[in-house]
Structure 1
Amino acid sequence: MILRHIRYLLAVAEHRNFTRAADSLHISQPALSQQIRQLENDLGGELFDRSGRAVRLTDFGSAYIEYARRALLDLEAGQRALHDVRDLSRGQLRLAFTPTFTEYLVAPVIDQFHSAYPHIEIEMTEMSLDAIESGLGGDRVDLAIGFTDIRSDDIEVEALFPERMTLVVSASHPVAAERTPIASSRLATLPLALLSGQFVSRFYVDAYFASQGIKPNVAIQANSISAVLKIVSRGKVATLLPSVMQYEHRDLKYIALEPAIPARTVALLRRKGAYRTAAATAFTAMLKEMLEEGALSSLSAFAR
């Protein structure tokens, strides 16, 4: 009953309409209204002002709803705790990660984790760093792989390894045989295929160009890393991507820049104080073991 009342309250507050809230909850509008009235009676005051075309929270409701939101997070965490089996014979892992990790980091760890714990249900979601912060804060994600430059004080950050952007070209590209770093002035002359502005890595690439006082020759922009990699592998267009991509994409050439783009630190992210499931704990231990002495131990060398 507590969970149901809180979910009903939050739905009405979000939709500002009893009919739409009832539709989203898959119950009838009269049943929803009755439940909200019961909650108001229990609390001793009206939560919503129903006098206008749109339903609004009263001062009484506004004072209560933030506590209700926090309580819902704790109650849902408690439900997961009840289903969390310490021997990992069942359970769930909700993992989020920023897009570049799809190409070199996530698959090896997930493959090994699934082999070790085949009955754990894994929910993988590719997100922006801002969406990861929101997902962790809203308890929609157990763990995330992102970067240390997180803005929220509610996120716990554990550094894993450095990641540095570098020039990536096909084996047939004119600069593929270069043995010395490519100067930024020369980089400005090369046709580039870059990730679009929705990727945080593009922000760092643009900041690098600005710091060098050069205007890049951006021939292609794409919102897909796999599309950029395919374009680069087939033609004379270069790109800028993390050097650790060579762990999975060894058919491409990775050439250092002079000066280098400043490194970022890859990190494991969790919400502070959140319940840690057995699955999330086991995944964390496996990832760190693979980075320290397992199949992913070479990543730090690639990032230099």
Structure 2
Amino acid sequence: MQLAVFILAYPLLWLISRLPFRILYFISDIVYQLLYHVVGYRKKVVRNNLALVFPEKSDLERLRIEKKFYKHLCDIFLEMAKTLGISNRQMHKRYVFTNVEVLQRLESEGKNTMIMMPHYASWEWVFSLNSQLNSRAYAIYQVIQNKYFDKLVRDIRGKYGTTLIRTTESRKIIKDAKKEGQLITVGIISDQSPMLNRTRHWAKFMNITVPIHVGGEELCKVLDMIPIYLKVEKLKRGYYQGTFKVLSEKPTEVEGYKISEAFLKEVEKSIYEAPEYYFWTHKRWKHKDKVPKEFQSMQE
């Protein structure tokens, strides 16, 4: 069954990847009309999230954010498919890094780095960064159940030389790479809600106390990697720029989970600047009413 679904879907994905961008976005506009006005995909989740995070905004203001978000959502999923056929020249024109010298300096000092990102603007095209670095690139990801699509995603994201590794195997692979003397850069998306039974820390995110992912910080401390926040901005349709900010030059000396909290503060800044580019379909605040006693003081 998995193979049948893949065989049916792949030709469409391949065709989309070969379309000129003007036609790609014309299709995206049509998909938006269907997804938003006809299907209403996760509209209740999006509205609940926006009302929770922006109680000070009017219904009309939140509705404008909602519609802009859905238009962006359609764009990024078609852009993901476009990655199959996009040329290197087009990629480097459409996804620019403003201060890649920050990473290059750390490389020259022999330091391994971890790039921490949220589901904001575009996280798929960041893989083009690897063509500007000398280090070995890894990206931690969640496996897709359909093994054929999982391989396709790994191939697409590995287009510029990045190796995808599962969350469960990340620590061992990174540790082994360091033992072999590899200079490495690891990418991780760290803004979504962890499973409650695996939660080790709670913090405020958009002024709401929630469980947070701390795996990235823990890896940085155990393996002495420099944590870096990647701020991505959408300049206009199909054009993005990424800016790096070092969260700590000495992660092993940072107390508690302050790196993870600093990461979330940076994510908040991006959301407040342009909320329509955040991934509002996720139930990020679903555990807000389950705060353990030791963290309840954060809500005050």
More helix by share: 2
TM-score w.r.t. length of structure 2: 0.24
More strand by share: 1
The structure having more radius of gyration, on CA atoms, is 1
TM-score w.r.t. length of structure 1: 0.23
